[in-house]
Chain A
Amino acid sequence: MTTDNRRAPGIERALLVAAIVGGALAVIAGAPARATRGSVDVRRLALIVEQEEDHVTAVELANWIRDDHKGLRVLDIRPDSEFKEFHVPGAKNVQLPEIARMPLDSTATYVLYSEGGTHAAQAWFLLQARGIENVYFLRGGLYEWLEQVMNPHIDPKASQAERDSVRALARWFGGKVQIGTPTPAPSVLDGVLTPRAPNATRESIRRIRRRAC
């Protein structure tokens, strides 16, 4: 019963205020730590990297997406504008700083990709440090995805079964198969060495610096 002569209204009021203030400020503070700290088992990670169990190829990722791999979460860690231009189907856009505080599901399988692969590999370490073990990155980044899944070149000497599987995968993702060897890509230095417009130079250097990240 509430009729308890041991109740102290003053203390109850102070606790009520503490709860309201503490709760309201927590909403503003958001995260319980200003710095996100994680820890890694360095040896374990080194072995995973050495055994090349840290990444997937574009074709493996494409198969996972097509086969609806259980708990698969594909994270695109490129800038928002590039994500809007093009991304792997089903991918979620996450900026690198968000990796530190985004809620994670330890039962999911995360696949990270960036433009070239470096940022994804770095984010792989960050997720490992946050305690996620099922995390992989797309080794060659979005470039590999475009080359191997969307626009694969089939060797004319490849077997029929091989051609069919490449073609089926490309078609599933709306890509197009090309027969023959790939044409060499234009050099990334073209824009820098022969700037067509001075204003464009800084922008292209910025882009090239980030390229393959």
Chain B
Amino acid sequence: MAPFYEFGRFGDSASLVVAVLLGIAFGWFLERGGMGNARKLAGQFYFTDLSVLKLMFSAILTAMLGLFWLSWAGLLDLSRVYVPETFVAPQLVGGLIFGVGFATGGLCPGTSCVAAATGRRDGIALVLGMLAGVFVFGEAFPFIETFAESTARGAWTLPDAFGLSHGTVIGMIVAAALGAFAGAEWLERRAERPAAPPEPAR
């Protein structure tokens, strides 16, 4: 039964090897999907290229349906899967900072590593910036600790928040994702059309 690490199928060192392999695969596929290109990612914010939105929703659907049905089939113990804890206010502020950085640099933490690995200089600059940010956050943590730990909701999931069954929430998210895919394709088709009619040939 999964998670294999939680059930002692492999130890700490083996889990690090698995993590490295998964990380390389993650980066490889992000790069092959064009996610190391800041121009492509920034297109998201101009509604010209919504690859990121489609990629994120694809990943969410794959993981969500995969976890649900593996658990339903008795192959996975969901209670042993770590759910990150929610801190409403600090995460709103963090999300805002993240968004500003993403829109400015055109890359998010994962894609900046991919961009750096392929030798893009903007990627390298962003990775250095991210490490500097991590350092500053770590040093400043004692001063912002009270805020960082405020409005704690624990491992808070959508079924908890809405009082709905997991299945109902999944149905809603699948519908939202399919709507987002259709909307994204429509926006992209609109962006492809030339803004002004071509000049008539003389």
Contacts and interface: CB of A to CB of B under 8 A. Distances in A.
B199 interface: no
B167 A28 contact: yes
Interface on chain B toward A: helix, strand, loop, or mixed SS? Answer: helix
A3 interface: yes
Contacts of A16: 178
Interface in A12-66: 15-16, 18-20, 22-24, 26-35, 37-39
A19 B79 contact: no
Interface of A: 1-3, 15-16, 18-20, 22-24, 26-35, 37-39, 101, 103-107, 131
B174 A23 contact: yes
- What class of interface size applies to chain B in its complex with A? 35 or more
Contacts of A106: 154-155
A23 B171 contact: yes
Interface of B: 48-49, 58, 61, 65, 67-69, 71-72, 74, 77-79, 152-155, 159-160, 163-168, 170-171, 173-175, 177-178, 185, 188-189, 191-192
A154 B71 CA distance: 55
Contacts of B65: 18-19, 22-23, 26
Given A16-B178, A19-B174, A30 B165 contact: yes
A7 B78 CA distance: 34
B166 A107 contact: no
A23 B74 contact: no
B72 A29 contact: yes
Contacts of A104: 160
A107 B171 contact: no
24 contacts: A1-B48, A19-B174, A22-B68, A23-B61, A23-B65, A23-B171, A23-B175, A26-B167, A26-B170, A26-B174, A27-B167, A27-B170, A30-B165, A31-B72, A31-B165, A32-B72, A32-B167, A33-B71, A33-B72, A37-B77, A106-B154, A106-B155, A107-B153, A131-B79
